[in-house]
Every structure is written in C-alpha cells, then in structure tokens.
Structure 1
Amino acid sequence: MEQNTVHAAFNVKAANGEGAFEGYASVFDLLDDGDDIMQRGAFEASLKARPAAQVKLLWQHDPTQPLGVIEALHEDSRGLFVKGRLLMDVEKAREAHALMRMGALDGLSIGYRVVKARQDAKTGARLLDQVDLWEVSLVTFPMQSAARVHAFKAGNKTTIRDFETFLREAGGFSRREAKALAAHGFKGLGHREDDAGWLEAMDSIHRMTAVLEQANLNNEGTLL
C-alpha cells in the first residue's frame, strides 16, 4: 500500500488550555512541495467510510506516538477542516501543546493512500481526485503553507484587532485589505465564539472577491 503525506503550515495564535485546536489540514487547488494538488471532493468517500474518531492524531507520523483525538473533519470550499484535541495526560501531547503555544511547532500533515489520481497535461502536477485519509500529524516542517490552524482562547472576547489578524493569517489578505474589511465588516458579523463562524465569513468574502474578479476579467479583459 502506497503511503503518502502532505504537510500544511499552521499558526496557533492562542492554544486552548484544554488542548483543543482547529483549522485546515489540507487546502484544495494548491501545488504542494511534492508536486501534488488536492482536488475538491478528494476526501468525500474516505470521510463517509471512516468517521473522524477513527482518524488518528499522531506526532510526526509515528504510529507509536498518538497525541489525542480528532473530534471533527469535513470538507468545505477551502479544504479539509479538522478539529482535534491533545490529551494532556500524555507527555508528548503536553510537550506539543507547549511548543504550539510558543509558536515553535507550526506544521500539520496528513497521511493518506491515493485512490484516484491523474496528471495535469500542462504542468505535470499530480491531481489527487480521491484519497483515503487515515491520520493527521503535528510535524516540525510544513509543505503546504496556505492551510492554517487558528485556536482562540476560550472565553476571551474577540476584538476588531483579532478579526484583522485572522483575515491576514487565515485569509491571505494584505494588511491594508484586512484593515478595511475589519473596519467595515466586524460589527455586522457579530461576536463569533468559534473559529468555524469566522472561517465561514472568510469563505464568503473570498467567494465575493472571486466573482468580482471574474466580472472584471469578462468586462475588461484584465483585472482592475
């Protein structure tokens, strides 16, 4: 059985005191350092066959060093969203938690088996249409820098500055764009208690931006 891994950078702004974290373990339509591009829907069959609780949470892909549990996994328009929890009774999990809080550990990686793939005729990249996901790991060195984890401290009130930072780090917006979006959209969004709400809002922003960019291309032949 062919074993594959893909790494994804994450940035833990404030690790939950109970070991909870969440974010994207894989992002669609982006070329990773292994010349693979994960396609939308690639995880669908695997997630139906293997529930989140059966996907292992490991340290550096080592099956002898489980760190905790995966509590939720789902695909959305951006990629594979994962919610996990480190078991603080496990020594390695406590070490990982401390490293995450200090920003010294900043990588996620998934272990999977390729089920269906094809080669892009123009770029030569391998397009992964279906994979069998079996583990998510905390790792030292990331490969797919667009996928990120954002774990906010439970109980803290989210501020407009938090939202601005979130837009820059998770959404890839520039500092100027993030400031403008935060200034005009923060109050309308209301106070979100979990990252899923923020990520849904960000997805909506990206979708609207894509529509506007496509309209400009259709009307002008170039981006404004």
Structure 2
Amino acid sequence: MNVKRRAFPLSIKAVPDAEGRFSGHVSVFGTPDSYREVVAPGAFAASLAATKAAGRTVPVCWQHRMDEPIGAWTRLEEDEKGLFGEGTLWLDVAPYARIAQRGMTAGCISGLSIGYFVTADSFNDVERIRTLTGIELVEASIVTDPAHSEARIDVVKAKLAAGEGITDREFESTLREKGFSRSEAADIAAHGFKAWTRREAGQPQADSSAVARLIEAAGSYRLPSI
C-alpha cells in the first residue's frame, strides 16, 4: 500500500538558521481537512515510541521524495496543537536542503507535509468524519505547495467530498491504493463498478456518497486465509 500524504500550510515556526535548524508543526489535531479526516491527539504516540526504541530518526524529505532526504527531525513530540518538530537540514551535502533553506527564509516555501500509514481509525456515519487515531509516521517533508499531493487516493477522496463523481480508472487506482493487486483492481472495476455506475442509461457515474461507501468497504475487506 502506498504512503499517504497530508499537508499543513503556514506551519513553519522558525525558518532555518545558518546551521540549517528549523521548527514547526508537521500535523495539527482536531481540524477536518478537505477529505473529512481528523488527526486525534495521541495518534503518533506509538509510532514515535517505536522509532525512538529502534534508535532511528524520521527523515526530512524534499517534496515527499523518499530518495531525496535533505535532513533529519531531531525532535518530534505531540503538544496541545499537534505534532511539533525540530529538524536540521543537511546544507553541506544535500543541494535541495539549500533550496529549502533559501525558500523558507524568503517566505515562498512555507509548507510541511507528512507521509504516513494509518494504523487505526474510526468513522462517524452521521457527520461523515474519519478520525485517525493511529498513524505510522514515515517522513515529514518541506513542500513548495502545501496543497499538493501525489497520492491518487487523496485526489479521489477530495472529489467525493465535493460531491463529484469519479472515473473507472480513478476507482481502479483507489483499489490499488487499498492493497488490491493490479489484476484484482482491474477485474473489480471492469465487472462491478462499471456495471453498477452505468446500470441506467444516461448515468455515467454513481452518486458520490455511494461510491465513498463502496471504497470504504473495499478498504476494510480482506481475502480469507486458506
């Protein structure tokens, strides 16, 4: 399953100094995002504890490029607002670290965004809000555009939250994000989703709320063990 991404604009508290040190909130609690998801206090606790116990640190990446680390988070802890971090950029060896430092100092790069896996969550059927209670933090990036996301599942979620329909290809991509293989996703999209969404003439797309429920069901489905 691909890493999910969540962005927080204007979250940098202190821009990098001459040594590349900076700080800011990489996640904020309690506020629903455009995908109707909320991060709950304590969501990062287990992940941070496991990382510390393993003697590891979380990388600072550039634009979510896992192969482009530009520093390390020297401190990550939850406070009353969210997940606060202090990091250091590798200005001497990472070219993009210097770009990040210059952009953050100039005020044109002001976003922090996390890459993560959801390990526990709950869903409010009345308010249609998903609360993330367990998050495995993989990386936290400096990003030029905090609203940008390369995760296809987030694009689909945004469309559904806005009441828009999605295409067959987007539904198939979402199943892939949920852990289905390429062939499984293609079969489900071809034989199930297409027939369902086009069961009536002139209805190329199903109701967005119904599609959202279908995706939720797909995400919770697991093949039986043999």
- Identify the TM-score tier after normalising by the shorter chain: 0.5 to 0.7
Match of 1:109 in 2: 113
CA separation of 1:46/1:113 partners in 2, compared to 1, >3 Å: closer, same or farther? same
Q: Which residue of structure 1 lines up, in the alignment, with residue 86 of structure 2?
A: 83
Partners of 1:49 and 1:111 lie apart in 2 by: 16
1:132 to 136, 161, 168: 136
Aligned 8 A contact 1:27 1:78 in 2: yes
Backbone CA RMSD of aligned residues: 1.6
Task: Render the CA deviation track for 1:105-158: whole Å, top value 9, x for unaligned.
Answer: 011001110001111223212110101111000112224xxxxxxxxxxxxxxx
- Specify whether residues 129 and 14 from structure 1 end up closer, same or farther in structure 2 by C-alpha distance, changes over 3 A only: closer
Could you state the TM-score of these two structures normalised by the residue count of structure 1?
0.60
Which residues of structure 1 form unaligned runs of 5+? 144-224
User: For residue 215 of structure 2, what is the aligned residue in structure 1?
Assistant: none
1:130-187 Cα distance to aligned partner (Å, 9 max, x none): 01111000112224xxxxxxxxxxxxxxxxxxxxxxxxxxxxxxxxxxxxxxxxxxxx
The one of 99, 110, 113 aligned to 1:95? 99
- Separation in 2 of the partners of 1:14 and 1:48? 27
Q: Which runs of 5+ in 2 are unaligned?
A: 148-226
Q: Say which one has the larger Rg.
A: 2
Q: Which has the higher contact order (CA 8 A, sep 6+)?
A: 1
Encode CA deviations 1:63-84: one digit per residue, 9 max, x unaligned.
Answer: 1111111101111121101110
Q: SS of 2:109's equivalent?
A: coil
Relative distance call for 1:102 and 1:131 in structure 2 (3 A) is same
Give the residue type in structure 1 aligned to 2:86.
Answer: K
Q: Give the match for residue 68 of structure 2.
A: 65
Structure 1 contact 12–103 (Cα < 8 Å) conserved: no
Aligned residues with identical type, % of pairs: 36
Q: State TM-score, norm by structure 2.
A: 0.60
2-structure distance, mates of 1:96, 1:132: 25
- Give the residue type in structure 2 aligned to 1:26: S
1:21 paired residue number: 22
Aligned partner of 1:5: which letter? R
Q: Equivalents in 1 of 2:142, 2:106: separation in Å?
A: 15
Contact 2:57–2:74 (CA under 8 A) maintained in structure 1 = no
